[in-house]
């Protein structure tokens, strides 16, 4: 018998997708499954982009350079000016999604057995990226009870060992929706400089900020240029998830060179998508304003509905388009699969992402689920009808009588 590798047997299973077979089975039974599990909005892309997209290159599609097309890298720099970020194109590498940016950055800065400090909850796939790189996540807990703040600097400092290579987080945070205040980011930077470790920040949701919260890119802080690496993506902000175009940005020339060497192994990012991404990055501010307004509306529906459900605790998200809610359940994996296998309401159910996937700490997230508020309001309402009914019917419901909301401005 041939064998699967040990790592293959234990590879982190995506919480966004691992119950898709159950969703497919539910659909096969005629059940309408509302997908709250994945950050896949349904807004149109900026007008005259994807439908009008034409390949304008030669009559074949050559490899591009590994670093990405220069025109696209330059366009990315111009796009960054709106965030007061000054970088030149040699500091921007185009990657096959932000996922690749993170994976290549980890390879460049950490060896097997090294440690990466990650405040949790965090974007679930960091678990898988770190497993592939052979590096260990050292999670620092933050709690829904006080709105998922950045852990105290003392907690970071205590977690740093001689194997620590970086602190990794997303800002705005997926899944918590937290936006980290500039003052906290600055403290983090000082800590990174003091201990000579990197800050690897995933800013894929930088356009999605609500209620006047203040997002500031880590690239706007100067004086720690050697320590900062950003992963970015066109996916969310342009409703272009399937393009697979992202970027890794750093002013550290050695990081750029090393990641370039890694990126040459896969030859080039996808060329058709790079052409389209270049057009997308030229989108005017009205597009984002209307997106933000619409997401804010959807967010409000979720907040209103959740606040009327007994035993549900949540923090009002400040950015991105997710909410990580505590439910009166003891096992979010069981609840997530139960929703797809055993529950329906008006022949309809919801698919959520179990909270466990967003933590590395043992036993964390068991009573939480991540909900993406990406669907049209009517679907969100139907989804909330289902969730409300499901919580009432769920046989393993725990007794938890208070509803709590934190962080509403």
Which one, of 248, 399, 391, 180, lies nearest residue 306 by Cα?
391
Would you give the binding string for a copy of itself spanning residues 138-177, x where CB under 8 A is met? Answer: ---------------------------x------------
Stretch that binds a copy of itself, among 75-83, 153-161, 252-260, 315-323 (CB under 8 A): 252-260
Nearer to a copy of itself, 60 or 378 (CB): 60
As measured in angstroms, the least distance from the Cβ of 178 to a copy of itself is 23
Which one, of 161, 155, 228, lies nearest residue 198 by Cα?
228
**Residue 241 binds to a copy of itself (criterion: CB under 8 A):** yes
Stretch that binds a copy of itself, among 101-109, 151-159, 178-186, 338-346 (CB under 8 A): 101-109
As measured in angstroms, the least distance from the Cβ of 2 to a copy of itself is 5
Distance of CA 76 to the CA centre of its chain: 20
- The continuous run of DSSP H or E covering 349 comes out as strand 348-351
* CA pseudo-torsion sign 376, 238, 50, 286: positive
Contact (Cβ atoms closer than 8 angstroms) between residue 218 and residue 191:
no
Stretch that binds a copy of itself, among 5-13, 83-91, 168-176, 351-359 (CB under 8 A): 5-13
Contact (Cβ atoms closer than 8 angstroms) between residue 306 and residue 325:
yes
As measured in angstroms, the least distance from the Cβ of 293 to a copy of itself is 17
Nearer to a copy of itself, 66 or 144 (CB): 66
Contact (Cβ atoms closer than 8 angstroms) between residue 299 and residue 317:
yes
Among 55, 78, 330, 396, binds a copy of itself (CB under 8 A): 55
Site residues (CB under 8 A) for a copy of itself, limited to 210-239: 226-227, 239
**Residue 409 binds to a copy of itself (criterion: CB under 8 A):** no
Which one, of 130, 136, 139, 124, lies nearest residue 107 by Cα?
130
Nearer to a copy of itself, 20 or 309 (CB): 20
Which one, of 44, 68, 16, lies nearest residue 246 by Cα?
68
Site residues (CB under 8 A) for a copy of itself, limited to 374-393: none
Stretch that binds a copy of itself, among 204-212, 269-277, 348-356, 391-399 (CB under 8 A): 269-277
For residue 371, say if its preceding peptide bond is cis, omega within 30 degrees of 0.
Answer: no
For residue 172, say if its preceding peptide bond is cis, omega within 30 degrees of 0.
Answer: yes
Three-state secondary-structure class, residue 181: coil
Three-state secondary-structure class, residue 93: strand
Site residues (CB under 8 A) for a copy of itself, limited to 109-128: 109-112, 114, 125, 128
Among 176, 252, 278, 356, binds a copy of itself (CB under 8 A): 252
**Residue 48 binds to a copy of itself (criterion: CB under 8 A):** no
Nearer to a copy of itself, 106 or 329 (CB): 106
Site residues (CB under 8 A) for a copy of itself, limited to 79-98: 96-97
Nearer to a copy of itself, 200 or 306 (CB): 200
Interatomic CA distance for residues 384 and 379, integer angstroms: 8
Among 182, 270, 361, 377, binds a copy of itself (CB under 8 A): 270
Interatomic CA distance for residues 25 and 10, integer angstroms: 25
Interatomic CA distance for residues 283 and 274, integer angstroms: 15
For residue 141, count other CB atoms closer than 10 A to its CB.
14
């Amino acid at each position: 018998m041939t064998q699967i590798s040990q790592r293959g047997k234990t590879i982190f299973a995506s919480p966004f997708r691992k119950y898709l077979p159950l969703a497919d089975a539910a659909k096969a039974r005629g059940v309408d499954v509302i997908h709250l599990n994945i950050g896949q909005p349904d807004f149109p892309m900026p007008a005259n982009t994807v439908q009008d997209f034409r390949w304008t290159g030669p009559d074949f599609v050559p490899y591009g350079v590994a670093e990405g097309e220069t025109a696209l890298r330059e366009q990315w720099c111009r796009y960054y000016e709106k965030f007061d970020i000054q970088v030149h194109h040699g500091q921007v590498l185009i990657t096959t999604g932000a996922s690749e940016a993170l994976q290549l950055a980890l390879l460049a800065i950490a060896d097997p057995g090294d440690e990466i400090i990650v405040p949790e909850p965090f974007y679930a796939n960091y678990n898988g990226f770190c497993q592939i790189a052979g590096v260990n996540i050292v999670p620092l807990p933050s709690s829904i009870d006080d709105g998922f703040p950045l852990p105290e600097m003392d907690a970071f400092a205590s977690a740093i060992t001689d194997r620590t290579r970086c602190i990794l987080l997303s800002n705005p945070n997926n899944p918590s929706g937290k936006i980290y205040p500039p003052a906290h980011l600055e403290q983090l930077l000082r800590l990174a400089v003091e201990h000579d470790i990197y800050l690897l920040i995933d800013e894929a949701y930088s356009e999605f900020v609500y209620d006047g919260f203040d997002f500031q890119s880590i690239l706007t802080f100067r004086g720690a240029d050697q320590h900062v690496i950003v992963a970015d993506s066109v996916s969310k902000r342009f409703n272009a998830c399937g393009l697979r175009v992202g970027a890794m940005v750093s002013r550290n020339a050695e990081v750029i060179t090393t990641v370039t060497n890694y990126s040459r192994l896969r030859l080039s990012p996808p060329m058709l998508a790079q052409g389209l991404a270049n057009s997308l990055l030229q989108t005017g501010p009205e597009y984002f304003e209307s997106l933000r307004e619409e997401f804010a509306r959807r967010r409000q529906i979720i907040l209103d509905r959740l606040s009327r459900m007994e035993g549900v605790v949540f923090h009002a998200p400040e950015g991105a388009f997710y909410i990580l809610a505590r439910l009166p359940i003891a096992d979010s994996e069981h609840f997530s699969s139960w929703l797809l296998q055993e529950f329906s309401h008006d022949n309809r159910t919801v698919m959520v992402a179990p909270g466990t996937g967003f933590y590395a700490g043992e036993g964390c997230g068991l009573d939480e689920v991540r909900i993406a508020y990406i669907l049209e309001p009517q679907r969100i309402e139907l989804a909330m009808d289902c969730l409300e009914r499901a919580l009432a019917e769920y046989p393993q419901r725990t007794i938890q009588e208070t509803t709590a909301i934190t962080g509403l401005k």
